[in-house]
């Protein structure tokens, strides 16, 4: 199982605790049907092709309820899993296994979904040199987990939140009095965090370049506009395409020469991977 950085480990602990509290509340009444000291063995099956992600969250759900639980994995985060494939075996206190089952599967199937969709986008632009990026359009409370899943699927992370990066959008520009003014203000407050500005047309792109922008988001540009933007920029800034980009269109976008492509659907338009847990 992969080692998580401290911030992600802390987020995992909070997410798992919240999920268990939400489901169990004052106690799992149905689990009381089982003797308190009963032991059980179970296994998890995958019902479709996917990229596995979320082992640490899955394990943490069981270990919070039974620290002595034994989990044996047959696949690791980032690996391709298939239909009817056994992912792991679990042995421990029967009540704990029953109570943790749903939260644990919720994490595993949701994070695997994000990793799987990310891998599809990454594979679609293989060889172009462009990078698939995530956004802040994440499920509430699961941002760090989903961003980990994007990395697992082969994508790259943008800023975690509003505190570790600056993205100057249309309303910021209007409030600041213009593109140059917004970039000047951002330079004063940014410190060592990245500064990106969003532009909606070639004129705004030229203004951003003239003001010294080094990271520019091209919002809803057509393919021809993207090619023109790459030519106009001539390597003076990193260009990122965004807006209504799908699996059918992403390769054409990448072939325009932009370095980055951000996809909100990686973390907001996902369909949970079909997993099931069965007791022996």
**Catalytic residue chosen out of the listed positions 137, 159, 251, 268:** 137
137 counts as catalytic: yes
Residues 267, 146 contacting (CB under 8 angstroms) = yes
Reduced 3-state DSSP string for the chain: CCCCCHHHHHHHHHHHHHHHHHHHCCCCCHHHHCCCCCEEEEEEEECCCEECCCHHHHHHHHHHHCCCCEEEECCCCCCEECCCEEEEEEEEEHHHHHHHHHHHHHHHHHHHHHHHHHHHHHHHCCCCCCEEECCCCCCCCCHHHHHHHHHHCCCECCCCCCCCCEEECHHHHHHHCCHHHHHHHHHHHHCCCCEEEEECCHHHHHHHHHCCCCEEEEECCCHHHHHHHHHHHCCCCEEEEECCCCCCCHHHHHCCCCCEEECCHHHHCCCCCCEEEEEC
214 counts as catalytic: no
49 counts as catalytic: no
**Catalytic residue chosen out of the listed positions 169, 214, 251, 268:** 169
**Catalytic residue chosen out of the listed positions 102, 120, 251, 268:** 102
**Catalytic residue chosen out of the listed positions 28, 66, 204, 219:** 219
228 counts as catalytic: no
**Catalytic residue chosen out of the listed positions 28, 59, 198, 240:** 198
102 counts as catalytic: yes
Q: Which residues are catalytic?
A: 102, 137, 169, 198, 219
């Amino acid at each position: 199982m992969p080692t998580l950085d401290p911030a992600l480990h802390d987020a995992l602990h909070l997410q798992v605790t919240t999920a268990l509290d939400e489901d169990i509340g004052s106690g799992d009444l149905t689990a009381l049907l089982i003797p308190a000291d009963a032991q059980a063995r179970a296994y998890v099956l995958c019902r479709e092709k996917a990229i596995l992600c979320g082992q640490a969250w899955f394990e943490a759900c069981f270990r919070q309820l039974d620290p002595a639980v034994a989990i044996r994995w047959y696949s690791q985060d980032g690996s391709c899993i298939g239909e009817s494939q056994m992912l792991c075996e679990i042995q421990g206190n029967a009540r704990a296994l029953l109570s943790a089952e749903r939260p644990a599967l919720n994490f595993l199937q949701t994070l695997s979904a994000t990793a799987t969709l990310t891998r599809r986008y990454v594979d679609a632009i293989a060889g172009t040199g462009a990078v698939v990026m995530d956004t802040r359009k994440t499920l509430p409370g699961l941002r760090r987990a989903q961003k980990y899943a994007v990395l697992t699927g082969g994508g790259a992370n943008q800023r975690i939140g509003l505190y570790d990066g600056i993205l100057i959008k249309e309303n910021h520009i209007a409030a600041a009095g213009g593109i140059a003014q917004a970039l000047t203000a951002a330079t004063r407050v940014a410190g060592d965090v990245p500064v990106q500005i969003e532009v909606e047309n070639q004129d705004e792109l030229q203004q951003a370049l003239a003001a010294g922008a080094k990271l520019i988001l091209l919002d809803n540009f057509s393919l021809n506009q993207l090619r023109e933007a790459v030519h106009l920029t001539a390597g003076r800034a990193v260009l990122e395409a965004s807006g209504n980009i799908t699996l059918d269109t992403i390769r054409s976008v990448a072939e325009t020469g932009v370095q980055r492509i951000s996809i909100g659907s990686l973390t907001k338009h996902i369909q949970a991977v079909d997993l099931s847990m069965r007791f022996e």
